[in-house]
Chain A
């Protein structure tokens, strides 16, 4: 299991498009991917979970990848979040 703390950087936060891009990207990996934010855990492979989390620009989250190819999942997740989904 690996974890990393990240800050959401795209101006609109995790709305529909970033959430679906992110969940689709995480869905490719066999490991479990979880976002811990504001005391709750969210399934990062679920668009609806990510939208419900209401992560805004500047929100600090903990990302947990656990299982097969967790390093690959983490690398892609970090790239997506740090690039701000191109917004």
Chain B
């Protein structure tokens, strides 16, 4: 058995197709017709660019825009004026195109690899990919056409390159095993996007695996079984079927309402970060969007997005959702992300600092532009506005007053908007949780952000491994916060949702049902799992579990108890 890193879940059983590393050896020769050699090089670059564009197109369909962009990056490398100039110089010195190009690429590969900067090091892999591509063309070596691989193929290779991934037919490739690439490597991301079970970082893979071998790829455990015996085949086929069964079982919950075992209805919506994600939310059967993060509009820009630009994105998202709820969270940005054009400075304590609603209320023009855009978009769907990081009621009042101001402007202009647009808040600070009774009187809804609420309540940074042991939503203090927030919302008859990771946690779901949560907002792939989980609880059973949990005094005892009931 071979052991590597399981980077893409699932079990694949199939026959190995080894993608050979081509021997790119050649005998360097001295050229006399330098003009013809330069032309030969330029032709190869042209062919390379054409091929790469085609690969980018197919990758765009199978894996998405971001993956395609990496291929296009290869084109910008090969068209680099400095690189071309240097190659042409070497050709004019009498080198053949192969060695000229290889020399210059190797120079960059060694420069990039020898830096201590991780991002720059990764670029060496891109240059290597480009070098291989151009040399193959110059040497007339054909690529193995992966797209023709028969059904039930397990690909074995040194690494999964984007150009290989571009040729993968998802119907036929049942597994991927490679020598290099960890969980966060680009190869791993590609395998996950393609939803193919994959094990990577298998040392000396090529020594153990041959073309035509039958192998079992367990992408969850990171194990690869070569030439399995009948018993193993049986066991893994069973495991594979079980996984598929579980997936099918979840499919039974598709298109159904979200309802507990005793008939209580819940809203089950998604968290999204881009307009396109709304389509994904629907694809995974989400009932709307409980959290639309709007930071994307501000992050990849050199200047502030205009009102029209924002309006376009909000409208697009609302239209995609066809009347299903869309909660737009206003800009949640602060000193942990540097955005030069916004004048945000690095702070010693960014999470306690000038961020989110605090920043927006001080930069009213930026805030107003966003709120105007949201209000204008509100006639195209079922939109609500949500303020992040509220800590006192004045912030909510000030935000609402600004919305009223904009509404009268829009009325005066004759611009349409939803007069009854709901304005709610994220409850994610300890302060907001404690004054939830005050906030609930002036807020149209609550959404509990458990990630920040846990961090603020426990006063710990989950990214700091020395203190991250404190970070858990199952801490008695955090559970008391959540219970209080939900109770205050219910007493004031406003809906209360949860948009942190905890909303999809099977241990939390009975507690949330018992406390009285009305809306679960989760990542799109979790929708069916959460719907199934909710369907398994009655109010009475959930109450019993919650009562017991609230009598326990440590995170560990809460965890141990909940383990026994789920």
Contacts and interface: CB of A to CB of B under 8 A. Distances in A.
Contact of B340 (A20, A54, A82): A82
Contacts of A9: 338, 340
B119 interface: yes
B79 to A, nearest CB: 9
Main secondary structure of the interface of B (DSSP, over half): helix
Contacts of B77: 47-48
A45 B119 CA distance: 20
B81 A27 contact: yes
A54 B117 contact: yes
B302 A86 contact: yes
Interface string A57-85: 10000000000000000000000101111
B81 A15 contact: no
Given A45-B82, A46-B81, A84 B338 contact: yes
Given A20-B76, A54-B120, A87-B299, A48 B83 contact: yes
A87 B340 CA distance: 7
B82 A16 contact: no
B30 interface: no
B479 to A, nearest CB: 36
A52 B107 CA distance: 10
Contacts of A52: 108, 111-112, 120
A48 B108 contact: yes
Which of A15, A52, A84 has most B Cβ within 10 Å? A52
Contacts of B299: 86-87
Nearest to A49: B82
A45 B84 CA distance: 12
B123 interface: yes
B127 interface: yes
Interface string A11-47: 1110110001001100100000000000000010111
Contacts of B340: 9-10, 82-84, 87
B115 interface: yes
A16 B338 contact: no
A49 B76 CA distance: 13
Interface string B329-348: 00000000111110000000
Contact of A11 (B115, B302, B338): B338
A9 B340 CA distance: 7
Interface residues of B, number: 27
Contacts, number: 74
A46 to B, nearest CB: 3
Interface in B321-364: 337-341
A25 B305 CA distance: 21
A62 B296 CA distance: 32
A53 B340 CA distance: 22
A86 to B, nearest CB: 4
A9 B76 CA distance: 24
User: Size band of the A side of the interface?
Assistant: 20 to 34
Interface of A: 9-13, 15-16, 20, 23-24, 27, 43, 45-49, 51-52, 54, 56-57, 80, 82-87
Which of A24, A51, A83 has most B Cβ within 10 Å? A51
B563 interface: no
Given A48-B82, A84-B302, A86-B341, 9 more contacts: A10-B338, A10-B340, A15-B123, A16-B73, A46-B80, A51-B112, A54-B120, A57-B338, A86-B300
B303 interface: yes
B301 interface: yes
B120 A87 contact: no
Contacts of A84: 302, 338-341
Contacts of A86: 299-303, 341
B119 A15 contact: yes
Interface in B114-142: 115, 117, 119-120, 123, 126-127
Interface string B450-476: 000000000000000000000000000
A15 to B, nearest CB: 5
Contacts of B115: 54
A83 B341 contact: yes
Nearest to A20: B76
Contacts of A57: 338
Interface in B50-80: 73, 76-77, 80
A33 B320 CA distance: 46
Contact of A48 (B127, B301, B303, B337): B127
Given A15-B119, A20-B73, A43 B300 contact: no
B341 A16 contact: no
Interface in B485-538: none
Top-8 shortest CB links A-B: A46-B82, A84-B340, A86-B302, A83-B302, A86-B301, A15-B119, A52-B111, A43-B82
B76 A56 contact: no
A87 B295 CA distance: 12
A82 B340 CA distance: 8
Which of A10, A45, A57, A86 has most B Cβ within 10 Å? A86
B12 to A, nearest CB: 32
A84 B83 CA distance: 26
Which of A10, A45, A46, A57 has most B Cβ within 10 Å? A46
Contacts of B120: 15, 51-52, 54
19 contacts: A10-B338, A10-B340, A15-B119, A15-B120, A15-B123, A48-B108, A52-B108, A52-B111, A52-B120, A54-B115, A54-B117, A56-B117, A82-B340, A83-B340, A84-B340, A85-B302, A86-B299, A86-B300, A87-B299
